[in-house]
Amino acid sequence: MAVLADARPAQRQPAPPGRARVSRWHRLDLTVSPYLYVAPFFVIFGVFGLFPLLYTGYLSLSGWREDQDGSRGTFVGLANYTRLLHDQFFWNALKNTIGIGIISTVPQLMLALGLAHLLNYRLRGRTFFRMSVLVPNVTSVAAVTIIFVQLFGRDYGLINYVLHLFGVSRIDWQAGTWSSWLAISLIVTWRWTGYNALIYLASMQAVPFELYESAALDGAGRWRQFRSITIPMLRPTILFTVIVSTIGALQLFGEPLLFNVSQTPAAGGSQHQFQVMAVYTYQTFLGNGKYGYGSAISWAMFLVIVVIVGINLTLVRRLRGVEGA
Partner 1 sequence: MRFALRRAAALAGAGLLLAGPALAGCGKSSGSSPAPAGTEPVTLTVNLFGDFDYKPLYEQYKQTHPNITVKENITDYDTHHKNLKQHLTAGAGLADIEVIEIGQIAGFQGQASKFVNFLDQGVDPSTWTDQRVKDASSADGKVLFGLGTDTGGLAMCYRPSLMKKAGLPTDPAALSAQMKTWDDFVNLGKTFQTKIGDRNVHWFDAASNVFNAIVAQAPQGMYDASGNVIADTNPDVKKAWDQTVAAIQAGESAGLAAFTPQWNTGFQKAGFATITCPAWMMSYIKANAPDTKGDWNVATIPGTGGGNWGGSYLTIPRSGKHVQQAIELAKWLAAPEQQTLLFKTKGHFPAAQALWKTDDIINFKDDFFDNAPVGKIFSAAAENIKYQPLGAHAGEFGNAIGNALVSIEQGKATPDAAWQKAVADIKNIAG
Closest CB to partner 1 among 45 and 178? 178
Q: Number of residues interacting with partner 1: please give it, by CB under 8 A.
A: 35
Closest distance to partner 1 from the beta carbon of 36 (Å):
28
Whole-angstrom Cα distance, residue 283 to residue 236? 37
CA distance 267 to 279: 8
CB of residue 250 vs partner 1: minimum separation in angstroms? 22
Of 63, 99, 101, 153, the one binding partner 1 (CB under 8 A) is 153
Q: Does 314 bind partner 1 (CB under 8 A)?
A: no
**Cα 216 from Cα 232, distance rounded (Å):** 17
Q: How far apart are CA 294 and CA 279, in angstroms?
A: 11
The number of residues making up the chain comes to 325
Residue 193 to residue 235: CA distance in whole angstroms: 18
What string marks each residue from 162 to 201 as x (binds partner 1 by CB under 8 A) or -?
Answer: ----------x--xx-------------------------
Residue with Cβ nearer partner 1 (61 or 267): 267
What is the CB-side half-sphere exposure of residue 296 using CA atoms within 13 A?
21
Gyration radius from the chain CA atoms: 26
Closest approach, Cβ 81 to partner 1, in A, equals: 15
Phi, psi for residue 206 in degrees, rounded to 5 = -85, -5
- Determine if 258 is a binding residue for partner 1 (CB under 8 A): yes
* Choices 109-117, 160-168, 192-200, 266-274; region in contact with partner 1 by CB under 8 A: 266-274
* Cα–Cα distance list, 189 to 21, 196, 282 (Å): 59, 10, 23
Q: Are 322 and 232 in contact (CB under 8 A)?
A: yes
**218 belongs to the binding site for partner 1 (CB under 8 A):** no
Q: In the window 52-81, what residues touch partner 1 (CB under 8 A)?
A: 66-67, 69
The HSE-up count of residue 259 (CA atoms within 13 Å, CB side) is: 32
Between residues 152 and 192, which has the closer beta carbon with respect to partner 1?
Answer: 152
CA gap 28, 30 in Å, rounded = 5
Classify 75 as helix, strand or coil: strand
For residues 199, 200, 203, 207, the Cα torsion angle rounded to the nearest 10 degrees is -170
Q: Does 47 bind partner 1 (CB under 8 A)?
A: no
Using CB under 8 A, pick the residue from 32, 47, 261, 313 that binds partner 1.
261
Shortest Cβ distance from residue 280 to partner 1 (Å)?
A: 10
Determine if 288 is a binding residue for partner 1 (CB under 8 A): yes
Among 57, 107, 232, 289, indicate the residue that binds partner 1 (CB under 8 A). Answer: 289
Which residues are near partner 1 by CB under 8 A?
A: 66-67, 69, 87-89, 142-143, 145-146, 149-150, 153-156, 172, 175-176, 258, 261-267, 269-271, 273, 286-289
